[in-house]
Structure 1
Amino acid sequence: MRINTTRTAGLLAVLALFTVGTVTGCGNETASGRHGTQVRGTDPTPDPQDRARRVADAWDGSRAAESWAEGYYPMEETVQLPAGAFRNDADKRAYGAQNFVLRGELPTTSRKDGRVKWESGGSLTLPLMGSREAFEAIAGGGGDGPHLTVTGAELGSMPLVTSRGPATVPAWLFTLEGYDMPLKRVALSPSELPQPPIGPAGEVPTDKLAPLGGLAEVAGDGRSVTVVATHGACDEGPAVDVLETDGSVVLSGSVVGTKDGPCTAVLLSKEMTVQLDRPVGDRVLLDAFTGRPVPQE
């Protein structure tokens, strides 16, 4: 099933593995797990549909799938903004740049573990992230310009969509100057990813298959997913196909309208929404190129 582009996510920084300037033969560019490098993978399957089926077959019923089903993997942003955020464009820019200032003490806790509780039943205990670590996860900017001020924090919880459905997870609730409601940040790290049962695709033109940039969103009803797909400056944009099985949803990225000849080596990204025949549920979302779960952006 071919789907349409939604909104443009904007220009990404040119990756270090791209040569600044121009490249030739844009229509013949190859993809790898590191965007544009010509490193051969372990699966030489050239046909995109066959590759997607091979990825699905490798995962369905595998030990990796069992580990995924038992773990905790967020399927949406692990930061929840205060209601009504933002007050102004300056605050919005500050958040985007991760410019935070701490004016106050962050609490410590004697708790070493936190528990994920799923709406469908079951729970999982994982190491609890401290308030300082959680703060540093959201405050990585530290540059000039507008900033948001954190005046305190307390340990609470927040709802979160995960690979096993909706859950309630521990979260640090940061008090922001000028806001009545806190900014929430999940206080747990995801489970370790299982070893994939299939290697990445081999050298293949990007108009056939390309790696995805990451997972942007899963719809509330689970019937669509939005992923970040990349493309170049000399093509018509990315496309994403989907193969659904009982145990997985395999997404195949590619580039359409590629052209031969010189092309500026810039990398663009677009968010692509894929409609599914049925809700994602506890099925694993897989990137056909890498053979791995699509990472949370």
Structure 2
Amino acid sequence: MTRRGMWIVLALLLGGCGPGPDAPTGPAAPRTDEAPRLLAQAEAALERYDRAVAAAGGRPRFVPVGELTGQTGAWEAALADNAKAALGNGHLVVTGAMPDAPAGDGEVIWPNGDRERVGLLSAEDALGRITANRAECPECVALEVTGARLGTMRVSTTRGPATAPAWEFSIKGSAVRVTRLAADGAGTVQVAPPSWDPYNTPAGLAIDSASGSTGGRQLTVGFTGAPQPASEPCGIDYTAKVVESGNAVVVYLIEKRHADNEACTAIGFHRTAVAELARPLGERTVLDVTQGLPVPVTLAS
């Protein structure tokens, strides 16, 4: 489970648990107790991002979001269990020649035709970004990388999905190719999320996606929440609030529960809420309030 997923489950467990079915229930007011903390958390996340933008020399137009390693094709049955574990834990070893970085830049292309030139990594450096977070996996047999070629891959960005340059690595004994974004990341905004611990957890729920338009002032965000609205037992209504700068928008969610002290199951459900912006979104990055990191954005054409 990812760190974000762990916080979502924890939030649902803490928020949905009560003393039992005999506890008194009734209409509950909006949960304003967390609102000041959420606002402060959002403002701190926005400040961190603005500082990171300044350190990067300005806001880049290409900001990839989410997983930057992928694959083409499915693992053969005989390899599947080991290959998934080995790749997921960064257990790859080079046994073939790796190409140097191509001369010149690559190009990121969005569906609306927008383009952005980016510097490119060598195949060895791109592979190093897969193995950099190598984790202990005693049962893993390292995948042998026998070669590489430059291709493209689909990536999520803060401006919607895009096609970007990627290295495709061939694996000994398999038709699968492991892919990794080839953009060198020059000028990339590097944001370090706060260090949370079990005694100091982030307030609120994390959004995992957003959609809108560059010229619009409405932003629809997706997140995991309660299955039912506040009109139903164990239900919750969510109101999306924002803190904005010229670089980014941080979204946080205010909850209104059906009742306090209800005994509810910790079942998450995909929910959405609409935030109103002070000015059009433009090319600003959308951040979640728990980690202060960018989320994928889908922009209307």
Query: Which TM-score band (shorter chain)?
Result: 0.5 to 0.7
- Given candidates 56, 61, 80, the residue that maps to 2:70 is 80
CA contact (8 A) 2:242 2:250 kept: yes
1:137 aligns with 2:129: yes
Q: What letter corresponds to residue 77 of structure 1 in structure 2?
A: E
CA contact (8 A) 2:96 2:146 kept: yes
In the other structure, the counterpart of 1:48 is 37
CA distance in 2, matches of 1:167, 1:135: 21
Shift of 1:103: 1.8
1:198-253 CA distance string (max 9 Å, x none): xx8xxxx84773897xx9x64899965569xxxxxxxxxxxx98535796242469
| Structure 1 pair 131–99 and aligned structure 2 pair: CA distance change class (3 A) | same
In the other structure, the counterpart of 1:114 is 106
Q: Cα RMSD over matched residues?
A: 5.0
1:89 aligns with 2:81: yes
In the other structure, the counterpart of 2:272 is 275
Shift of 1:50: 3.6
CA distance in 2, matches of 1:64, 1:155: 29
CA contact (8 A) 2:101 2:121 kept: no
1:169 aligns with 2:164: yes
Q: Which runs of 5+ in 1 are unaligned?
A: 1-7, 13-44, 228-239, 254-270
1:124 aligns with 2:120: no
Q: What letter corresponds to residue 285 of structure 2 in structure 1?
A: V
CA distance in 2, matches of 1:62, 1:116: 25
Shift of 1:189: 3.6
Q: What letter corresponds to residue 162 of structure 1 in structure 2?
A: T
In the other structure, the counterpart of 1:231 is none
CA contact (8 A) 2:61 2:283 kept: no
Q: What letter corresponds to residue 277 of structure 1 in structure 2?
A: V
Higher helix share: 2
1:89-148 CA distance string (max 9 Å, x none): 121211122111222111224414222122223222222111010111113439753221
CA contact (8 A) 1:173 1:184 kept: yes
CA distance in 1, matches of 2:141, 2:211: 33
- TM-score, normalization: structure 1? 0.54
Q: Secondary structure at 1:81's aligned position in 2?
A: strand
- Given candidates 176, 179, 203, the residue that maps to 1:209 is 203
CA distance in 1, matches of 2:282, 2:223: 15
CA distance in 2, matches of 1:62, 1:94: 36
Shift of 1:75: 1.8
CA distance in 2, matches of 1:224, 1:133: 35
1:35-85 CA distance string (max 9 Å, x none): xxxxxxxxxx981354367579989x99969954x4211123111223224
Shift of 1:154: 0.4
CA distance in 2, matches of 1:252, 1:117: 33
Q: How many residues align?
A: 218
| Structure 1 pair 85–282 and aligned structure 2 pair: CA distance change class (3 A) | farther
CA contact (8 A) 1:226 1:273 kept: yes
- Given candidates 188, 192, 203, the residue that maps to 1:192 is 188
CA distance in 1, matches of 2:241, 2:163: 30
- TM-score, normalization: structure 2? 0.53
Q: Which runs of 5+ in 2 are unaligned?
A: 6-33, 213-218, 225-237, 255-267, 276-280, 297-301
In the other structure, the counterpart of 2:142 is 147
